[in-house]
A and B are shown apart, each in its own frame.
Chain A
Amino acid sequence: MSDTLRFVSNELQLMALSFMAIVYIIRIRWLLKYKASRDRQAPSERRDTSSLKGIIYSWANIAMPWSMESTRRMFFFYLQFVVFHLAVAANITLSFVIPYAPGLMKPIIVVRMLQILFAAACAIGCYRMYRRLNNPAMRLISTPDDLFSLGLLTVWSFASIFAAPNRPDLGEGPLMVYFIMTAFFLVYVPFSKISHYLYYPFTRFYFGRTLGYRGVYPVKHVVQPKPTRT
């Protein structure tokens, strides 16, 4: 491994990561400086729920596609979301595994599974880009940041396919591209829509707290019975 690759896979990553952490701390402090409003009214007459249940339900919402009409109706879209986000998580993990625990990437099955996941994420990213540009409502709400962030993650997933085998002996190009992109990703994320995961715990916490207290959460979904044959 060349010194350059060692630098981009280690020091550069740590610098980018530190930068991201600092910006995130500032961002969270900024969010917390706003006062949270509270519910002064009596709790719901519904006895089977509470603020706490609402918060837990709200946080877990994302793992329960049956809980929202939107994810029930757009289940394929939800599956794309799951695969895409799993790939991003795997990709971030990969950026630590390669420099610090390369042994984990030895079994070929692990490499192949990751490559399949990254390829799937790349395909989903392409589809989602097409959707953003083709669907009038999506085109209208998409900002340059939305398009760039999606493009960045899609290209990053593509680069990961070639970085996953971790074979600098066959050429350092794929790993160089992958780590430089990862560093850029880490620096760019706090300023982009990708940082939504930072807000997710807050938005869902307050939404769940209120709706749990008021008895709306957990949502009771009553399935329409299918017409019986006569």
Chain B
Amino acid sequence: MIPNARSHKAGKVVERMGKKLSRQLVGSLVGCVHCGMCTESCHYVLANPDDPTYAPAYKADQIRKIFKRNYDWTGKIFPWWVHAEDLRTDEDLEKLKDIVFGKCTNCRRCSLNCPMGVDFALLNRMARGLLVSVGVMPEGVAVVSKDQWEVGNQMGVLPQEYIETLEWLSDELEDEFKDPAARIPIDKMDANIVYAINPREVKYDPRTISDAARIFYLAGENWTMPSEGWDMTNFGLFSGDDELGGAVALRVYDKVRELRGQTLVLSECGHGYRSTRCEGPNWSGKEVPFVIESSVLTMLRYIREGRIRVDRAKNKESYTFHDSCNNARSCGFFEEPRELLDLVVTDFREMYPNRAENYCCTGGGGAMSMSEYTPQRLKSAIIKADQLKATGTKSVVTSCHNCVDGLTDVIRHYKLGMKVTQLVNLTANALVIPERVFVPVEVLIPAVSLPLQGFKILVVDDEPDILIFLAAVLEDQGATVIQAADGEQALALTIQEKPDLVTLDLSMPGKNGGYVFEEIRNNPEIASTKVCIITGKPELRRLIYERPVAPPDGYLDKPVNEETLLTNIRMILELRQPVGHA
């Protein structure tokens, strides 16, 4: 090691690099011949042909040069000859951060295309971990990691919120099947299946939980969901923090052991599947004594065994399939989703390239939580957009929640007019409900009753387009909507109109959303007003949750779609049925 003139943090990174090096990493560090074969496999390069700094070999060299200067003989003796360079200042760390977090999604496509077998994604993840260990990371990564360490899941879903959501979904399930047994079991001992999910499902997409519950119910499965250790996602994969990775994975494994579950089934999430099934045992250093499988495999088995029946004619649109990088390129999980898709849709059209060669959704590697890199992410997404467009389909199916968000962004940005869905939704939609379950009941539907009728909602945002969107969606559901374009106006209207709910943007000129939120909570007259934060800057989330007041009642990341907005508004207003408020 070269010990001179380094900042404290740079010194720590170099020192910790030495401890992190494995034979695989060293092989990848010394094996590159700079042949350039990896270059065109990267979607960042393809979308930015005039910027050579996106080349995977160049990005890897920014890590390699530190290794060479400190741990390899040629770099120690003749640094200029092999482009070895030391890490010296905190600015160097910031530059490295922008490369390893902002210019790569760790999709592993270049690794697969390297004749030498250099695993660049492995190097990039190591570099991320080293930076995180000294606190150098995008704000979003810090926020999400903190949530996963402290709250136990990466979206900061509180235990009460999780349990209430499951109960609410159970009530709906029971209503649907008119069967008191049709509920989501929580912490049931000795179940065949323990079902772990992505917190995004609780927060934004509870329909995927209820769809899975319908499938388990109709399959007659002995299943349960854990009250804790239910988050199968793992930000340790993205941040490169093996300690976090191991702790999160153990939290899930320990709960399954405690419940004496036989199989841990993971809902559709690429990085969750990779983290929990593949990397978790490596990070935690412990082998897992039970089976871990994707829910895709479970659903496929149910159909093959005749435990559920599906009618693919119920899904008549044209569909294509996007492979999650973590599923396909790191876990070899690409045939089963296609087999299931063939059983539940009538018109499936392959995307090219596909399987392990598919392109990243561009939201992988935690990119969705790093808003500072959004412009370059969306620019690079042109490759995915072209790929999607070429399929000529109306919907893209993916087995990954992260890809759902990534693809939704791509589709919106490039105006592709496609929908994104998951296999659990399609399978649930294709279900043939057996006679024994179907009990016709006369349902009285109120003649004129919109779900949000009677509710007064104040929407606050400085972007006119968003104000119009929010107002239109909520008014369509019967709410009385008041609009405010800045913090001062919002505060005045909250006091004057006393709305049932305020949707609040954080980043606004003048009094920002954080200030408005604290003012609302500190004013006894309006303190109990329900507040839902809607922001495009997840890094500001900390500013809200660290305030010395009660937390907001809801939190949504922009862009937000109609369905997510309404689901969350209903949850916040505690509406189980779409009935009036009056």
A199 and B30 contacting across the interface, CB-CB below 8 Å: yes
Q: Which residue of A lies closest to B284 (CB)?
A: A40
A145 to B73, CA, bound (A): 14
Q: Which residue of B lies closest to A135 (CB)?
A: B36
Closest chain A CB from B455 CB (angstroms):
48
B23 within 8 A of A: yes
- Of B91-99, B353-361, B371-379, B525-533, the one touching chain A: B353-361
A220 and B278 contacting across the interface, CB-CB below 8 Å: no
B331 and A216 contacting across the interface, CB-CB below 8 Å: yes
A222 and B355 contacting across the interface, CB-CB below 8 Å: yes
B355 and A136 contacting across the interface, CB-CB below 8 Å: no
Q: Which residue of B lies closest to A58 (CB)?
A: B117
Q: Which residues of A contact B117 (CB under 8 A)?
A: 58, 61, 200, 203-204, 206-208
- Of A11-19, A64-72, A159-167, the one touching chain B: A64-72
B27 and A202 contacting across the interface, CB-CB below 8 Å: yes
A34 and B335 contacting across the interface, CB-CB below 8 Å: no
Closest chain A CB from B264 CB (angstroms):
11
From B37, B116, B332, B350, contact of A200 by CB (8 A): B116
* Size class of the B contact interface (CB-based, 8 Å): 35 or more
Q: Which residues of B contact A144 (CB under 8 A)?
A: 80-82
A136 and B282 contacting across the interface, CB-CB below 8 Å: no
B26 and A143 contacting across the interface, CB-CB below 8 Å: no
Given contacts A41-B280, A145-B81, A196-B33, contact A137 B22 (CB under 8 A): no
B115 within 8 A of A: yes
Give the most central of B33, B279, B282, B329: most A CB within 10 Å: B33
Q: Which residues of A contact B442 (CB under 8 A)?
A: none
A31 and B26 contacting across the interface, CB-CB below 8 Å: yes
From B27, B55, B278, B285, contact of A206 by CB (8 A): B27
A44 and B332 contacting across the interface, CB-CB below 8 Å: yes
**Consensus secondary structure, chain A interface:** helix
B52 and A140 contacting across the interface, CB-CB below 8 Å: yes
B288 within 8 A of A: yes
Q: Which residues of B from 117 to 149 have beta carbons under 8 Å from A?
A: 117-119
Give the most central of B45, B81, B117: most A CB within 10 Å: B117
A221 within 8 A of B: yes
A86 within 8 A of B: no
B223 within 8 A of A: no
From A41, A42, A69, A71, contact of B357 by CB (8 A): A69
Closest chain A CB from B431 CB (angstroms):
24
Q: Could you list 20 examples of A-B contacts with CB < 8 Å?
A: A31-B26, A32-B23, A34-B26, A37-B22, A37-B23, A40-B281, A41-B279, A70-B37, A137-B36, A143-B34, A144-B80, A144-B81, A196-B116, A200-B31, A203-B27, A204-B117, A206-B23, A206-B117, A214-B332, A216-B330
Interface residues of B (CB under 8 A from A): 21-28, 30-31, 33-41, 45, 50, 52-53, 55, 57-58, 61, 73-74, 80-83, 111-119, 277-282, 285-288, 291-293, 297, 328-336, 350, 352-357
4 closest pairs, A vs B, by CB?
A: A215-B332, A40-B281, A137-B52, A207-B117
